[in-house]
Amino acid sequence: MRDKTVETLEHLMDRYQFAADEDDNESDWIAKVRRDYINDAIIDDQELWLPYLVDFDNAAKAAMHELFEHGKRVHEKMSAKYKRGWRVDVQASLFPSKRYPALHPVQDQFHEMFWEYALRSESQNDYFGSLIPSLNWYGDDTHHLEKLEDHDLYDPNDNWDEGLDRELTKDLHLSHYFHHIWECSSFAYTDFIFVREFDMRIEVSITKDDTLK
Q: Is residue 210 predicted with pLDDT exceeding 80?
A: no
Give 87-123 pLDDT, tens digit per residue: 889 988 888 898 999 999 999 888 888 888 778 765 5
In a domain, 13, yes or no: no
Q: Is residue 79 part of a domain?
A: yes
Any idea what DSSP says for residue 135? Answer: E
For 39, residues 6+ apart whose C-beta sits below 8 A from its C-beta are: 163, 182, 188, 189
* Residue 6, in any domain of the structure: no
Q: List Cα–Cα distances, 173 to 45, 64, 106, 190, in angstroms.
A: 20, 15, 28, 20
pLDDT the model gives residue 36? 92
- How far is residue 22's CA from residue 117's CA, in Å, rounded to a whole number? 11
Global pTM? 0.84
Task: List pLDDT tens digits, range 72-90.
Answer: 899 889 988 887 788 889 9
Question: Does residue 30 sit within a domain?
Answer: no
CA distance 28 to 12: 11
According to DSSP, the residues that pair with 208 across neighbouring strands are: 86
Please state, in angstroms and rounded to a whole number, the distance separating the CA atoms of residues 111 and 99: 11
**Structural domain containing residue 166:** 47-208
Whether 25 maps to a domain, the answer reads no
Classify residue 40: in a domain, yes or no: no
- pLDDT tens for each residue of 129-148: 444 557 888 876 655 667 77
> Structurally, how many domains does the chain consist of?
1
User: From CA 89, how far away is CA 25, in angstroms rounded?
Assistant: 34
In a domain, 135, yes or no: yes
Q: Is residue 9 part of a domain?
A: no
